[in-house]
Structure formats: structure tokens, C-alpha cells
Amino acid sequence: MYNYYEAVKEDVLTYIKEEVDMNGMDLDELKERLYEELKNEDSITGNASGSYTFCRSKAQKYVEENKDLVREACDDYRNHKWVANLWLTDDYELIDSFLRCYVLVNAIEMAIRSLANRFEIYRNYGVLGQEKTPVYTYGSEHCFAITSDKITVELPENEYFSFYKSVTGEQMVESSWGMKYEINELLDGKEKPYFKACDRERRPHKVYLKEVAAE
């Protein structure tokens, strides 16, 4: 099923990567300017031309997989008759554009959270005793690594771990059970890196980190 929120979020992230100079800009400032820039950006909403997909069959597929979202948007904007007329005339491209505009504010929020949850780690190879699998570290390469790659990862939305800044400005992690950790206390993995910790009842919780493609 096509997910409008995720699709528009990814388009927003692509726009930021390709069109926005992030030097000296904080994420709150970025969020304030994005909506005005993107609401009529065809590569995000299709609102300027009336089509994002430029393909009626593709737009129809997306729209028909999201009838609940269409109803929700119509209820919020009180434009049932307008959308019904579009549906009767098979103008799925305009309905698709309408839905992208509807989710844009939330998609921008999701994109900003995604950026805030990105950080760099090292994938270390050849560490004594763990030669067959990589070892992941934050802040610096492993002192016993033969070679290391720096990669960017993202902590996805999850119910267990979230970032916060310490009083000294250090990036830390807080758990849903109230414990606070340095990143290296949680960071582990084999083929893929993840955060792992046990809650107060000693139940383990693991969240895989999403590797972000190098720009």
C-alpha cells in the first residue's frame, strides 16, 4: 500500500539534500521556510501543474489505495463535492496532488525528525577477536581496527530510544524506561548496526539503525 506520508517525507529529504544550503541553518529555521517553498513545488506536491505523477494510472493506484486518507482530507477541508467531481471525471492526478498537499506539514515534521536522528559512526574491520564481523563505534575508530569506514546512520521512529543533548552539548540517548546512555553503550551489530539495551525488568530491546546513502 502506498504511504503518502513516507513518500512525501522522502521527497522533502531529497529536496533538502539537493536544494538547501544547510551551512549555519538549524532545523527549526529549516522547518519554518520549507512549507512556503514546497507547497507549490511539483517535485513534492504537483500543486503548481496539477500533477505529481504525470501518469493517470499511477495516480489512480495511489489514490485508490488511500481512500481513508481521501475521506480524512475531505472532512478536514470540507470539500467533498470538489473531490467527488474529480473522482467522477477520473482526475486522479489532481486528487493525488491534493493528498500530497494535505500531508505536507506532517511530512516536513517527519523529515526534520529524520535529519535530527542522523549521526556518524565507524564500521571497523579486523578488530582482534572479532575479525569475521565488523565492530561499530561512535566518536572515533576502534583503536585495534585494521581499517574503518565512516557511515551515516539514522535512528528510526521507535518506542524505546530517543536522542537528547546533555548539558555539555553531547548527544545522548534516553530510553522509554528512564535510563540514559552514551551512544557507545548501546551501539552494537554485525551485518547491520543497532541500539540494544535491557529495561529495568531485564527484557532486551533492539532497534536497527538505518544506513543513509552517502551524498
In whole angstroms, give the CA distance from residue 14 to residue 21: 13
In whole angstroms, give the CA distance from residue 51 to residue 141: 47
Per-domain residue ranges of the chain: 4-115, 118-212
DSSP helix/strand/coil, 188: strand
- pLDDT, tens digit, 9 for 90 and up, residues 117-161: 999 999 999 999 889 999 999 999 999 999 999 999 999 999 999
Q: Is residue 215 pLDDT above 80, yes or no? A: no
Name the more confident of 30 and 199. Answer: 199
Residues 5-33 have a mean pLDDT of: 88
- pLDDT, tens digit, 9 for 90 and up, residues 59-88: 999 999 999 999 999 999 999 999 999 999
- Rounded to 10 degrees, the C-alpha dihedral 35/39/44/45 comes to 140
Inter-residue contact 123 to 136 (CB < 8 Å): yes
Percent residues over pLDDT 90 in the chain? 86
pLDDT at 183: 98
Nearest to 106 by CA among 5, 182, 23: 5
In whole angstroms, give the CA distance from residue 174 to residue 197: 11
Q: Which grid coordinates are listed for 58?
A: 499511477
pTM here is 0.81
Nearest to 47 by CA among 111, 102, 128: 102
